[in-house]
Structure 1
Amino acid sequence: MNRSIASGVVSVVSAKVVVLVVTALSTPLLYRLLGAAAFGEYAFLLSVFAIYMIFVSSGVTDGVRKFLAEDRAAANWSEHVVGFYLRLAITLSVLGALLLVVATRVGLVGRAFGSELTSYFYVLAALVVTAQFRDYARKTLMGFGLERYSEPLKIVDKVGFVVVAVPLVYLGAGVFGALAGQLVASTLVAAIGLALVHRRVSLSCLFSRPTERFPRRQMLTFNSMSIALVFLLMSLYHIDIVMLQRFTESSAVGNYKAALTLAEFLWFIPMALQTVFVHSTSELWSQNRLREISDLASRTTRYTFLLTAVMAVGLAALADIAVPIYFGADATPAIAPLLLLLPGSLGFALARPILAISQGKGMLRYPVAATGAAAVINVVLNVTLIPRFGMHGAAVATSVGYGSMFLFHCWSARLVGFDPLSDARLGRSILATVLAAGPIVTLSTAIGNPWLALAVVPPAGFVIFVVFALLVGALDPAEPFEVLSTFPDPLGAKADAIRGWLAAGGTKQREQNRLHSLLFVVGLSLLVSGLTLGLLGSGIGSVTP
């Protein structure tokens, strides 16, 4: 990963960490204040809105980000791209808002979703406009490589939402209060973002007309394929919520959304990579640097697997403790769906950077086909399982749909022109995960105090996992320092020095010792498993009937 891409990833990850913390604090608060039923209604409304916004904004935001990042020699290229997509953003947002108002006024919304939800859609109509300009401004800044501006705006958006929504909900505004928070926050971010864009390119470009050679048809084709791709992706995110609202009560939707929220915490690093890779790899594709793209993709796949797998194992080990503490005792039914969602969430995490690299080339036919196949599996399983098994059926269906994304997008990547598995070491990574799971689960079970378990298991589990990953060869000793070397100095310089020392001294010897390390790891795992069984056996034997 070169330093320019890595700096973008660092900016995105830093912002996502802050957003993750704010989300982690505000979501359970909203769940408690709204209650499971109202929280379910709010989640349902956001799912409907996200699907609707696909047709309003996805072609605009993906297009402006990709084409601004391309290094073209055309005169005033940036100004023409910004102006073209700004005109498109205004037109689509106005049409989208008017259509939603008309559909609500004539009763279509009430017949489709129930009269009790109708009034909320007027707020959503206003949110169409503000969200459009919020996302346009942020993606334009990203297209210029200005993640240092675009990513703090996500923090402003999340903090602004919390500052407005939580007090309103606390005062009794309910779902209206939460939606008002979304509206105010998106308005604020849109205003700041557009001002920052104006500093780089004057927004008067809205009125400029590019030459006949300007690739309008190519842009519109990309936009249509982006809309298809995002629609299929959003169906994976939201079809389960929409169907649950149709076949179950709102409290079940609320608990299932709670499980989804925790499972989606696994994605914050893959989502950061996906965010940066679309425009960063566009330049690599334009320069035909195929070997560098495959190397980037395969190493990213490996790092993503390792990071996401250890998080999934830790979350599974602590689910019985974390869910009641995080959301409250009323959310205990969310534990089982969470465990069912984790395997698929891991697969989806792996697919995200691969999809972004494919998008960077602009050849969306194969990514759309791959995502479509996963979406069809997801819809069919949700239709089959939700009426019979409720939120547990939704969790199984969604997990399978999520997991299939990785398989289909590996196939898609080869057709696009790169190999995401050339240095992925999936076998070794899976082995490290399996071997580390025993000690991590044992440690979680052995600690009786829930707060102590939450404090001890995550850092200790991470260390255990890294040790196993190093011993089985899923991770080379120099690689963590190679990643750290891309950080700003002095951390980057010190990490680079350590990486050089490790890389120079022992590659051949490490390969010679690989078998011995693997035998040691297997023996250690068997020992831990034996101790686990002994502990469980003694615990069972001590229980009096």
Structure 2
Amino acid sequence: MNRSIASGILSVVGGKVVILVVTALTTPLLYRLLGASRFGEYSFLLSVFALYMIFVSSGITDGVRKFLAEDRPIANWSELVVGFYFRLAILTSVVGAALLVVAARGRIVELAFGPGFATYFHVLAVLVLAAQFRSYARKTLMGFGLERYSEPLQILDTVAFVALAIPLVALGHGVIGALAGRVLASALVAVVGLALVHRQVSLRCIFSRPPSRFPSRTMLTFNSMSVVLVLLLTSLYHVDIIMLQRFRESAQVGHYRAALTLAEFLWFVPLALQTVYVHSTSELWSQNRHRQISELASRTTRYTFLLTAVMAVGLAALADVAVPIYFGPDATPAIEPLLLLLPGALGFALARPILAVAQGKGTLRYPVVATGLAAVINVALNALLIPRYGMHGAAVATSVGYGSMFVFHCLSARLVGFRPLVGARIGQATLATGLSSIPIFAMATNITKPWLALVVVPPAGFVIFVFCALLTGALGLGELREVLAAFPGPVEAPASPHRQPTNDRLGFTVGDWFQTLLLVVGMVLLVSGAIVALFRTGAV
């Protein structure tokens, strides 16, 4: 993988680590404080809000980032762009909030979702205003190239939510307290962000009238295909929760949301890859370097498969241990939906980088069609299975919908102009996953102490998986050496120009010793795990 792209990926991952850790700690705490039923209501409200905000913010946040980055021959261009989108943000947010209030007071919400939800929608109306200007401020800063401010604002939003929402919920304010925490955190980020924007461009520009040459129509219609793509992707995340709330009690929604939270941990690295690849592959597309793009996509698909598969196997093996420890003993019903969601989560993880490479070309017709087909399958199966099977039906439907993303985007990639499966070694990676799952599940089953299993199984399972990947050819020794070379090593003195560098008498480097040790340990763990599994099942 290109080192510059790899460093970009590491930068994105590093920036998201704080948010991931805080979210990982907060979600089970909210689940325990709210209980399964109210946590289900809270999750449902956030899903409705996420879909609703696509229409409220449609084209505004991405538009201001794009057009601020341009340098058009129009006087005071930056001020005009900031003012235009600020006025549009005010208009759409006020209209969006007003519609929620009307729906809540006109009993539309009560008839659609049941009594008690009208109060929640009044709070969501306030959140529309706060979230609109939070996102507007962040994307405006990004348009100015001030990511050093925009990214910390996202961390501030997460940390402020935890600091405000958790005490409110703990004091007995329930779902209203959690939503109020989101409102206050978003408002704080919006105020800080707009103050930073004001340092670049005076916000009095909202009163400036643009000249006749100002491309208002172009800016209004910008990003229509991107908005459709975002809507389709967001529907894959949230439509199952919304439909489950419609047909089942809130407790099932809470258990299902808990299962989704764990399954979505598999997407952390693929999401980082997607964030970087949209920009990193644009240059390759502009240079018509199709072969390099296909090689990059296939290698990324293989690495994503290997990394996500070992996480999925470990999570499946430890599900009956991890879920009660993470969410509490009341969350035990979430175990089965989690197991049903994992195959689809793996497929969705594989589709993410492929979609990013296609986005880098700028032609969104085929990715939109591929995502649309997956979204239709997801909605149809959820509508068919949820009324009869509840959260288990939702898990099966969503898993199939997620998995179809990989299939459809592989077909879309061929139409766009690259082949992500050529050289991806999917067969070898699948075989490595199957072989390693035997000893990993055996270890998880035979270690009876839950905390000991959580400590021992993940690292040991990773070593076993890497060994199986090397054994089947899914991963090469040279590739493993590249990964090891990325870590800092001892500083070597510069070699004399008159003297050839010498190796130690065995000709082994530290990386060679590490690989040999890895193979030996992996072989021992694989054989011992297989023997334990055979005795456990009574085969011998």
Q: Same fold (TM over 0.5)?
A: yes
Query: Which residue identity does 1:93 align to in structure 2?
Result: S
* 2:304 paired with 1:304: yes
Q: In structure 1, what is the Cα distance between the partners aligned to 2:139 and 2:334?
A: 34
Give the C-alpha shift of residue 253 in structure 1. Answer: 0.8
Q: In structure 2, what is the Cα distance between the partners aligned to 1:296 and 1:87?
A: 42
Give the C-alpha shift of residue 421 in structure 1. Answer: 2.4
Between stretches 386-395 and 425-434, larger displacement belongs to 425-434
Q: Is the 8 A contact 1:60 1:223 kept in 2?
A: no
Give the C-alpha shift of residue 151 in structure 1. Answer: 3.2
Between stretches 188-197 and 71-80, larger displacement belongs to 71-80
Matches within 5 A, 1:417-496: 417-480=417-480, 482=482
Find the counterpart in structure 2 of residue 231 from structure 1.
231
Q: Which runs of 5+ in 1 are unaligned?
A: 495-500, 511-517
Q: In structure 2, what is the Cα distance between the partners aligned to 1:240 and 1:179?
A: 21
Q: In structure 1, what is the Cα distance between the partners aligned to 2:485 and 2:140?
A: 29
Give the C-alpha shift of residue 17 in structure 1. Answer: 2.2
Give the C-alpha shift of residue 294 in structure 1. Answer: 2.9
SS of the equivalent of 1:238 reads helix
Q: In structure 1, what is the Cα distance between the partners aligned to 2:296 and 2:459?
A: 28
Distance 1:74 1:407, change over 3 A: farther
SS of the equivalent of 1:297 reads helix
Distance 1:155 1:74, change over 3 A: same
Distance 1:147 1:471, change over 3 A: farther
Distance 1:183 1:432, change over 3 A: same
Distance 1:428 1:222, change over 3 A: farther
Render the CA deviation track for 1:284-340: whole Å, top value 9, x for unaligned.
444544444333322222221111111111100100001111111111110000000
Distance 1:220 1:155, change over 3 A: same
Q: Is the 8 A contact 1:243 1:386 kept in 2?
A: yes
Find the counterpart in structure 2 of residue 353 from structure 1.
353
Distance 1:147 1:411, change over 3 A: farther
Query: Which residue identity does 1:422 align to in structure 2?
Result: V
Find the counterpart in structure 1 of residue 500 from structure 2.
none
Query: Which residue identity does 2:460 align to in structure 1?
Result: A
Find the counterpart in structure 2 of residue 514 from structure 1.
none
SS of the equivalent of 2:436 reads helix
Q: In structure 1, what is the Cα distance between the partners aligned to 2:82 and 2:283?
A: 18
Q: Is the 8 A contact 2:263 2:345 kept in 1?
A: yes
Render the CA deviation track for 1:223-262: whole Å, top value 9, x for unaligned.
2222221221122111111111111111111111111111
* 2:31 paired with 1:43: no
Percentage of identical aligned residues: 71
Find the counterpart in structure 1 of residue 117 from structure 2.
117
Give the C-alpha shift of residue 36 in structure 1. Answer: 0.9
SS of the equivalent of 2:418 reads coil
SS of the equivalent of 2:172 reads coil
SS of the equivalent of 1:451 reads helix
Find the counterpart in structure 1 of residue 499 from structure 2.
none
Matches within 5 A, 1:58-457: 58-65=58-65, 85-142=85-142, 147-198=147-198, 207=208, 209=210, 212=213, 214=215, 217=218, 220-457=220-457
Matches within 5 A, 1:502-541: 528-537=529-538
Q: In structure 1, what is the Cα distance between the partners aligned to 2:49 and 2:110?
A: 15
Between stretches 419-428 and 388-397, larger displacement belongs to 419-428
Distance 1:141 1:316, change over 3 A: farther
Distance 1:358 1:268, change over 3 A: same
Structure 2 length normalisation: TM-score? 0.86
Distance 1:436 1:199, change over 3 A: farther
Distance 1:122 1:391, change over 3 A: same
Structure 1 length normalisation: TM-score? 0.85
Q: Which runs of 5+ in 2 are unaligned?
A: 493-502, 513-518
Render the CA deviation track for 1:473-517: whole Å, top value 9, x for unaligned.
222334356467678xx57999xxxxxx9xxx99xxx9xxxxxxx
Give the C-alpha shift of residue 530 in structure 1. Answer: 4.8
- How many residue pairs match? The answer is 515
